[in-house]
Amino acid sequence: GAVVSQHPSWVICKSGTSVKIECRSLDFQATTMFWYRQFPKQSLMLMATSNEGSKATYEQGVEKDKFLINHASLTLSTLTVTSAHPEDSSFYICSANPWGVQETQYFGPGTRLLVL
């Protein structure tokens, strides 16, 4: 099946620093990628839809200036958590949706962020 990778798999940073997480589709092109966040024992909450070549669409309550998304190519989307705080500590997961196929969405392995 299709493969989506994320890098890094885990990161620890100091409060106030920025962290960039990469999401790559390895064997297919994705015009759309999605970023989710999961707190312990909770659901996956959609943060934003990343669209290649255009601005991301953020879900209600997600600060676009804090969570910067860049979808620079058909195989790469990045999420930058700016000025991270301890409450941003979470598990961030991306998914990629191949060309116009609603039924198919492949998830990355996730990135664990811990902000001290």
Partner 1 sequence: DQQVKQNSPSLSVQEGRISILNCDYTNSMFDYFLWYKKYPAEGPTFLISISSIKDKNEDGRFTVFLNKSAKHLSLHIVPSQPGDSAVYFCAASANNQGGKLIFGQGTELSVKP
Complete edge-to-edge strand list for the sheet that includes strand 76-81: 4-7, 19-25, 76-81, 67-73
* Interaction of residue 28 with partner 1, rule CB under 8 A: no
Tell me how far, at minimum, the Cβ of 9 lies from partner 1, in Å: 9
* Interaction of residue 21 with partner 1, rule CB under 8 A: no
* Interaction of residue 108 with partner 1, rule CB under 8 A: yes
Task: Return the residues of window 58-97 that contact partner 1 according to CB under 8 A.
Answer: 91, 93, 95, 97
DSSP string, 73-99: ETTEEEEEE-S--GGG-EEEEEEEE-T
Q: Check if the beta carbon of residue 113 is closer than 8 Å to that of residue 9.
A: no
* Interaction of residue 43 with partner 1, rule CB under 8 A: yes
Query: Which of residues 7, 13, 20, 45 is near partner 1 by CB under 8 A?
Result: 45
Q: How far apart are CA 50 and CA 38, in angstroms?
A: 18
Q: How far from the centroid of its chain's Cα atoms is residue 78's Cα?
A: 7
Which residues form the interface with partner 1 (CB under 8 A)? 1, 4, 6, 32, 34, 36, 42-46, 49, 91, 93, 95, 97, 101-103, 105-110, 112
